[in-house]
Amino acid sequence: MYLAHERRAYILRLLEARGSLRSAALARELRVTDETIRTDLVQLQAEGLLRRVHGGAVYTPPAHRLHAKDTVRLDVQLAQLIAESIPAGSRILVTDAPLIPALAACLLQRPCTFITPAPELLLQLAPHALPHHAECTGGALDKASGLLRSADPEATLRRLQLDLALFTPPAVTPHSISYPHRLRADWARTATRLGIPCLIAVPSAALAENNTPHPRARFSTELTPALLVTEDNLPPAFTEALPAATLRTVPYISRDSLVTDSDWEL
């Protein structure tokens, strides 16, 4: 029996291989009801990962997922700015999910290698239509954070020969980032200690002027970003503390954050 996210990941893998699927056949194969499959397809279509048709679904290549109307989405705008700073062939550490599908689509013409301790991100980067490589850091799964725990993180990151690291933490000050789980902060701390250039992409709602970020973001690490991408209503403390070349902004869209309540539980 598949869990919902496992079932949907399996559906996407079948779609990328076959191009289209029939709902009834899929329900029989997965031994679930037609209504369960319909719910899965509705959700995956809402995420821009497929297109529902009568009786089933067809695969949507990533290049066709970013339409003009999507440019008002904050994750797409942030991803587009980040992509401008990433050359082809870059080896990028990613630990957080919110921007990755949009970023992968923005980099279709500049294939990169995404390296992650997050198994869920490997699934997002798996479709054959994506030109990128995906690598896993290895280690045992930490269920609280959803990340893999390496016995020697510094040795792991040195071996992987990273060019940069991308983080989307729920709380950011001018010189630190914070997470609700220690392991997420630990990966960022290790990347900083090794001198890997770190990019941060967050909505302005995640920015805090002082060193008392969101109370649920308990684990912090000092980190001065090589690039901070956010909305243009950022607090004055950031423009005062960070060089202008370090900051890139998109127009303020809304108070909605990329980080939802469920993301705190990742």
Task: Provide CB contacts within 8 A for 148, sequence distance 6+.
Answer: 117, 118, 119, 136, 137, 138, 139, 140, 141, 142
Residue 214: the pLDDT is 60
Query: Which of the residue ranges 61-70, 104-113, 149-158 has the most confident prediction, judged by mean pLDDT?
Result: 149-158
**Are 165 and 199 within 8 A, CB to CB?**
yes
pLDDT tens figures, 45-66: 887 778 888 888 887 765 555 5
Task: Provide CB contacts within 8 A for 247, sequence distance 6+.
Answer: 227, 228, 230, 234, 238, 239
pTM for the model stands at 0.73
CA angle 42, 45, 49 (to 5 degrees): 140
Domain-wise residue ranges, the chain: 4-60, 68-265
Read off the pLDDT band of 124 (50, 70, 90): confident
- Pick from 23-32, 51-60, 69-78: least confident: 69-78
Residue 1: the pLDDT is 60
**Are 137 and 69 within 8 A, CB to CB?**
no
The alpha carbon of residue 48 and the mean position of all alpha carbons in its chain are separated, in whole angstroms, by 15
Residue 153 has pLDDT above 90, yes or no: yes
Class of domain 4-60: mainly alpha
Tokens of 115: 């390296």
**Fold: same for 4-60 and 68-265:** no
CA distance 141 to 146: 7
Q: Dmax of the chain from CA atoms?
A: 60
Q: Which of 132, 136, 138 is nearest to 106 (CA)?
A: 132
CA angle 71, 65, 11 (to 5 degrees): 140
Tokens of 10: 């399996």
Residue 36: the pLDDT is 93
Residue 97: the pLDDT is 79
pLDDT tens figures, 85-100: 999 999 999 998 788 8
Query: CATH number of the domain at 68-265, please?
Result: 3.40.50.10470
